[in-house]
Chain A
């Protein structure tokens, strides 16, 4: 009995020492996983996931504190990609965080704008230009469509508009063969 305990204890101490050494020798700085997750997220910075931005959400996923289905702008495809990366099961988008919408941009009604700068402070990517008591406008190319500027506007002059397809952004559709009615 004593022998058995001794043998096991000896083994445990030896292996523990080896692992302890290895842990110091092969220490990894930072978490490369966060970068990988962040690369998949759409960078809308909308905060619909419940975190203040895409990076914090990525960190939370990497730590296992958040589910992968909390990002409405990323949509089903984003969840699939995250599931693939992390080897987790696919889950449908969680309804409490929002629904998948067509990509849109914010548009300021420049006639109604009073120049309060509240939307400028809300914009996570600095896509709104203007100054106090001056008209504001959205730089459409930089706008991520996060909708964070809509709520702070005291005169409700900001609306979201879905991006229309143009000759530049048009894509060939998935080939569909029309079924014909049998005669």
Chain B
């Protein structure tokens, strides 16, 4: 048993609003009229398209292959015909289009041949490659490829943490998944432990989800493996942040620029563990996920939707109320506004929240910072948001970096408590984006300089050769 839990600094306790969607079991969303599958599913890299318009694909067929180390494959979520490969709006804060494959389902749901993968008889690297080709990415939201995280790293992984904290208000998809599919999650975790060579598994669940904790504990009993523990962690946002959960469960504080693997800890969402289980035990690639539809809706709940389902076709299942004026992707703390309802569900979509003027009133105008320090008290990354704000607002990015801007996890605690209603996180996102853009520009300029100098050297050499030829 774990002797004691540790604490992370800061955090807030917003109203959870989880009851509204947690009661009903997960429902399977009906087949949509068409599916839009963006080629970029794993945040950092775009997969290489393997199909052509007009081609018939089977459910689970690979339609785009992984390219590069941080990429995962993409699969057809159902059987049907490829209608087009074209840029489509994707669920990204920009609302810009990105290359996607559009599939018209034939309604037959014809699967590819599914075969369990015998991970015990092959080297771990092969299993990781298999997971990559099954398109398994983190389902917590960031969509980082799971096969990369399961890699040996520097020191190897000692502790595998399953993140079932689900600290954002309103969202209950992980809660329902743990209640209903606890065995699958633990089987997946057990497989991951085998791949990563980890010793123990810790499952962190916030203590406001007693049914999920009970269900997971019962599943641990049934599985009968050693060194798996389900730990109830205190409910405090953002307990589900990776660094925060690691801190609470193991007491390890991960410094800037380091990852969990440097300390032998690796953290996975419970949904990812379930996806690993489906891929290994059933040979099914990641083609659907559970997501919460909640907020200003008549029948909020959790739905298992195919990746690529247009959000517009998903919403009627939960019946948004008539005064709904906007939708959020993700929770109210970290979520971003959904700019178009034609965007599809992607692997990282965990929640669609309907907002109305009454439920989520538009933010009041920003008032001047009074330097009360509330933001510094609640910052789980132990930053001084008021200093970051001061410099981000004035576009003095170097100074903002000196105050560790990049340690900010954009959890939104500072904006939540700010008495002046300053959208602090928006400023930090702006500053981060500008710094990244400048770094990119700098890298491009360095390449241009190098190429220019090489060209000058070549011209010089050619001139000298010509002169030598003339002289001869």
Residues in A lying within 8 Å of B, measured CB to CB: 38, 41-45, 53-55, 124-127, 142, 144, 165-167, 169-175, 177, 179
Give CA–CA (A41, B448) in the complex, Å. 11
Which residue on chain B has the smallest CB distance to residue A143? B448
Question: Which residues on the A side are within 8 Å of B436 (C-beta)?
Answer: 171
Give CA–CA (A29, B426) in the complex, Å. 48
B366 touches A177 (CB 8 A): yes
0/1 interface trace, chain B 86-100, chain A, CB 8 Å (1 if under): 000010111010100
Residues in B lying within 8 Å of A, measured CB to CB: 40, 90, 92-94, 96, 98, 363, 365-366, 423, 426-427, 429-430, 432-434, 436-437, 440-441, 444-449, 451-456
- Counting from the closest, the 9 A-B pairs by CB-CB distance are A171-B433, A170-B94, A172-B429, A175-B426, A43-B445, A43-B448, A125-B451, A172-B433, A43-B449
Q: Which of A45, A166, A170, A173 contacts B452 (CB 8 A)?
A: A45
Question: Which residues on the B side are within 8 Å of A173 (C-beta)?
Answer: 430
A167 touches B98 (CB 8 A): yes
Question: Which residues on the A side are within 8 Å of B92 (C-beta)?
Answer: 167, 170
Give CA–CA (A149, B92) in the complex, Å. 36
The smallest C-beta distance from B433 to any residue of chain A, in angstroms, reads 3
The smallest C-beta distance from A164 to any residue of chain B, in angstroms, reads 9
Question: Which residues on the A side are within 8 Å of B429 (C-beta)?
Answer: 172
Give CA–CA (A42, B449) in the complex, Å. 9
- Number of cross-chain contacts by CB at 8 Å: 75
A175 touches B427 (CB 8 A): yes
The smallest C-beta distance from B266 to any residue of chain A, in angstroms, reads 27
B452 touches A42 (CB 8 A): no
Give CA–CA (A42, B447) in the complex, Å. 11
Question: Which residues on the A side are within 8 Å of B94 (C-beta)?
Answer: 165, 167, 170
Give CA–CA (A169, B94) in the complex, Å. 10
Question: Which residues on the B side are within 8 Å of A53 (C-beta)?
Answer: 452, 456
Give CA–CA (A142, B454) in the complex, Å. 14
Give CA–CA (A41, B447) in the complex, Å. 13
A126 touches B455 (CB 8 A): yes
The smallest C-beta distance from A90 to any residue of chain B, in angstroms, reads 15
The smallest C-beta distance from A85 to any residue of chain B, in angstroms, reads 13
A44 touches B366 (CB 8 A): no
10 interchain pairs, CB-CB under 8 A: A42-B445, A55-B452, A55-B453, A126-B454, A165-B96, A166-B98, A170-B94, A175-B426, A177-B365, A177-B366
Give CA–CA (A180, B157) in the complex, Å. 54
Which residue on chain B has the smallest CB distance to residue A172? B429
B430 touches A172 (CB 8 A): yes
Question: Which residues on the A side are within 8 Å of B451 (C-beta)?
Answer: 125-127, 142
Question: Which residues on the A side are within 8 Å of B96 (C-beta)?
Answer: 165-167, 170
Give CA–CA (A179, B362) in the complex, Å. 12
The smallest C-beta distance from B37 to any residue of chain A, in angstroms, reads 15
Give CA–CA (A175, B429) in the complex, Å. 9
The smallest C-beta distance from A40 to any residue of chain B, in angstroms, reads 9
A169 touches B437 (CB 8 A): yes
Give CA–CA (A43, B454) in the complex, Å. 13
A54 touches B449 (CB 8 A): yes
Q: Which of B93, B98, B423, B455 contacts A175 (CB 8 A)?
A: B423
Question: Which residues on the A side are within 8 Å of B423 (C-beta)?
Answer: 175, 177
Give CA–CA (A165, B92) in the complex, Å. 13
The smallest C-beta distance from B389 to any residue of chain A, in angstroms, reads 10
Give CA–CA (A146, B455) in the complex, Å. 15
Which residue on chain A has the smallest CB distance to residue B437? A171
Question: Which residues on the B side are within 8 Å of A170 (C-beta)?
Answer: 92-94, 96, 433
Give CA–CA (A41, B93) in the complex, Å. 32
Which residue on chain B has the smallest CB distance to residue A144? B448
* Sample of 11 further A-B pairs with CB below 8 A, known A144-B444, A171-B437: A43-B444, A43-B446, A53-B456, A127-B451, A167-B92, A167-B94, A170-B92, A172-B426, A172-B432, A172-B433, A177-B366
